[in-house]
Amino acid sequence: MIFPAAEFQGRVARLQARMADAGIDALLLTTPPDVFYVTGFLTRFWESPARPWFVIVPAKGAPVAVIPSIGAGLMGKTWLSDIRTWDAPDLVDDGVSLLASTLGDLVPDTGAVGLHMGLETHLRMPLADYERLRAALAPRHFADATGLVQRVREVKSEAEIDRIRQTCAIAGRAFDRVPEIAGAGAPLERVFRDFQRLLLEEGAEWVSYLAGGAGPGGYGDVISPASDRPLARGDVLMLDTGAVREGYFCDFDRNWAVGGADDASRRAYDRLYAATEAGLAAARPGMTAGGLYRAMAAVTGDVSGRIGHGLGLSLTEWPSLIPSDRTELRAGMVLTLEPWVEIAPGRMMVHEENVVIREGAAELLSPRAAAELPVI
Amino acid sequence: MIFPAAEFQGRVARLQARMADAGIDALLLTTPPDVFYVTGFLTRFWESPARPWFVIVPAKGAPVAVIPSIGAGLMGKTWLSDIRTWDAPDLVDDGVSLLASTLGDLVPDTGAVGLHMGLETHLRMPLADYERLRAALAPRHFADATGLVQRVREVKSEAEIDRIRQTCAIAGRAFDRVPEIAGAGAPLERVFRDFQRLLLEEGAEWVSYLAGGAGPGGYGDVISPASDRPLARGDVLMLDTGAVREGYFCDFDRNWAVGGADDASRRAYDRLYAATEAGLAAARPGMTAGGLYRAMAAVTGDVSGRIGHGLGLSLTEWPSLIPSDRTELRAGMVLTLEPWVEIAPGRMMVHEENVVIREGAAELLSPRAAAELPVI
């Protein structure tokens, strides 16, 4: 296991304290980050959408797993002892009656089952099975537990921060080696593949996310797959990665000028660097996510979309650095600072760093980008 | 775009024919494979759970995209022309009213919106937003469209089969190079990372899935992360990959004996090889998924769990090769054959190939495994 049982016991105790306040008798978790968070169960097998997996956090005591039998061995290595399995896939009853009876025992007839219903969440089980579960558990009701879980998960323990720092260091070493793989003439599609290779060589266990872009004096967007167009002198290249080690993500990017940079690119880079400096300087417990947006937007000007977000067991977590997000920043929250600027219509540049909110100044988790746009 | 518009138009026409039969006025799609299937929209940005994405297949005409504005540029490169966006994340109304008004225009008051509700599916949007959408669209109702979508998507076009064959060839070349990276003394954790590197070198755009195992005379399970235990003489090593290129997965594995194999390992391998031979020989249009299970289980004996499944835009698709699955096999369906045997308690071996059902004999898409357990 990646953490000792005490780490998970603390997490569960913090969830249970908030569950008691909210009148929730059991929490039903269905997604990889939530299940890992309370159990330590870590597997790439989630990639298969075939099977649902359920973990219940009761009002008191350790979580109960209700999972396909193929996962019994691995779940048995976690700190959980109550592991109930069915032979999935079962075309008639794919764990629903087992889950209903387990929840029925843990939740009084008039009680509430907490579940994610809010933004940035989804229910990872078939909708018809959820309706069956609701019917089977009535008159118990389901209640939104999104905020409750977020308030606990968003404050990372030092053990978690260490893991995120470790993944950031891996990506930092890979970014340092980009001159080995990128330069005028290298097709962007090959740069994407080679950069993932560098991440693996530097210690990433897998590369869950890779994005980027390249174009003369800036790139068009940051979500398109790579084309096979060769990099050309005057291009700005950006690579943005969500590599993973021991379950924890990094999420930051780097920019390079190919051959040389024009003034507009250099100025855009300087502005983004100044914006992340402003974000780093401003980030403090007690301010809001919206306040941190404003600290960076004071440098870049207002932009659409979010310019940063939470980070940890997923590539992106709440809160969102947007003007309207009033989530209070607290010590231990890990965030990305991700300002962007439009250089010209269809040409943008984005810069991203990872930080942890501390009682004093925020701490950088990603190795700081170069102060000036590097040339390769 | 990976395919010409005609490929997507054909897919949508086939969906619409079944929608008409089922009395479904519009189909609401929310997951990466479904959205790619009808639009060609391909991005790793789905890794972020922050934003929902919606594509509607109306009763007639091209799909309508209702998506976060960050995706407008990339969606604009697909064959779709009706692309409606909102600035996500919006903490008050994250696309729900835009989606409701769009569906409201496309579906009559007494009509039905089709949605995935069945096994192997989930709804990739917040549950509370789904409830809001239901309320906004009443008296329209939501109906399960799982079977409808599955019957269309499960029969691959030749263009899709070409893509899966291409990904299988990439993995085949990487498997051929495993002796470069694995052998007595190599920690399994490093072998996992190095094998992903080989996949990228051989042409994979990303490695969505990697699993494996190693142990004396067999491995304990196939879903655990790699430990740092060095491979030892007498181990059986297995690597199983879901690499991706142009959106299409492979999903097959290979086994090796480290240093040399004992008789039990060799016999288990022979039995699995014979079981996939039996599956290949038996697989024909008109039989059921359960029938194909029985053809392989005649060699291995009955086992729990499924011993194969569909493959394409996800690592695993329906149907399941289990006794109870009566899905009819049809020409163009791409399946994995994945029999396993228990060698001794806690020691198993699994073998997997990828095939496409043809009018005559099935066609192998993965390069056939060696007939005898290879030694490295």
Backbone angles phi, psi at B343, to 5 degrees: -85, -40
As a whole number of angstroms, the distance between CA A149 and CA A147 comes to 6
pLDDT of residue A264: 97
Mean pLDDT of A284-310: 97
A179 touches chain B (CB under 8 A): no
Q: Which residue has the tokens 């969906």?
A: B15
Mean pLDDT of A1-6: 92
A316 touches chain B (CB under 8 A): yes
Angle in degrees, CA B16, B22, B25, rounded to 5: 55
pLDDT of residue A167: 98
Question: With 90 as the cut, is the pLDDT of residue B309 above it?
Answer: yes
Question: Which residues are paired to B255 by β-bridges?
Answer: B238
Inter-chain contact B205–A192, Cβ cutoff 8 Å? yes
Report residue A145's pLDDT band, with 50, 70 and 90 as the boundaries. Answer: very high
Residues 6+ apart with CB under 8 A from A287: A328, A329
Q: Which CATH architecture has domain B158-364?
A: Alpha-Beta Complex (3.90)
Judging contacts by C-beta atoms under 8 Å, the chain A residues touching residue B126 are: 116-122, 146
Judging contacts by C-beta atoms under 8 Å, the chain B residues touching residue A117 are: 126-128, 131
Question: Which of these, A145, A141, A130, A111, lies nearest to A34 by C-alpha position?
Answer: A145
Q: Give the distance from residue A125's alpha carbon to the nearest chain B alpha carbon, in angstroms.
A: 5
Question: With 90 as the cut, is the pLDDT of residue A1 above it?
Answer: no
pLDDT tens readout for residues A165-217:
999 999 999 999 999 999 999 999 999 999 999 999 999 999 999 999 999 99
Mean pLDDT of B242-260: 98
pLDDT tens readout for residues B134-173:
999 999 999 999 999 999 999 999 999 999 999 999 999 9
Judging contacts by C-beta atoms under 8 Å, the chain B residues touching residue A127 are: 115-117, 121-123
Q: Do residues B227 and B188 make contact, with C-beta atoms less than 8 angstroms apart? A: yes
B204 touches chain A (CB under 8 A): yes
Q: Do residues A351 and A253 make contact, with C-beta atoms less than 8 angstroms apart? A: yes
pLDDT of residue A197: 98
Count of CB contacts below 8 A, A vs B?
208
Inter-chain contact A305–B122, Cβ cutoff 8 Å? no
pLDDT of residue A335: 98
Mean pLDDT of A133-159: 98
Q: Which pair of structure tokens corresponds to residue B252?
A: 């097959």
Inter-chain contact A225–B205, Cβ cutoff 8 Å? yes
> What is the percent of chain A where pLDDT is above 90?
98
Q: Which pair of structure tokens corresponds to residue B347?
A: 């020691």
B223-233 exposure pattern, b = at least 16 Cβ within 10 A, e = fewer: bbbbeeebbee
Inter-chain contact A70–B193, Cβ cutoff 8 Å? no
B115 touches chain A (CB under 8 A): yes
Residues 6+ apart with CB under 8 A from A35: A29, A41, A53, A55
Angle between helices B5-22 and B146-153 (to 10 degrees): 140
Averaged confidence pLDDT in chain B: 97
Mean pLDDT of B18-22: 98
pLDDT tens readout for residues B187-240:
999 999 999 999 999 999 999 999 999 999 999 989 999 999 999 999 999 999
ipTM for the complex shown: 0.97
Q: Give the distance from residue A193's alpha carbon to the nearest chain B alpha carbon, in angstroms.
A: 6
Sign of CA dihedral B293, B296, B301, B306: negative
Inter-chain contact B119–A325, Cβ cutoff 8 Å? no
User: Which run of H or E residues covers position A7?
Assistant: helix A5-22
A5-153 fold: Creatine Amidinohydrolase; Chain A, domain 1 (3.40.350)
Mean pLDDT of B42-48: 96
pLDDT of residue B1: 78
Judging contacts by C-beta atoms under 8 Å, the chain A residues touching residue B52 are: 122
Q: Is B293 helix (H, G, I), strand (E, B) or coil?
A: helix
Pairing of strands A347-350, A340-344: antiparallel
Backbone angles phi, psi at B271, to 5 degrees: -65, -40
Mean pLDDT of B292-299: 98
User: Domain ranges in chain A?
Assistant: 5-153, 158-364
Question: Which residues are paired to A238 by β-bridges?
Answer: A213, A255
- Least CB–CB distance from A208: residue in B47, B70, B242: B47
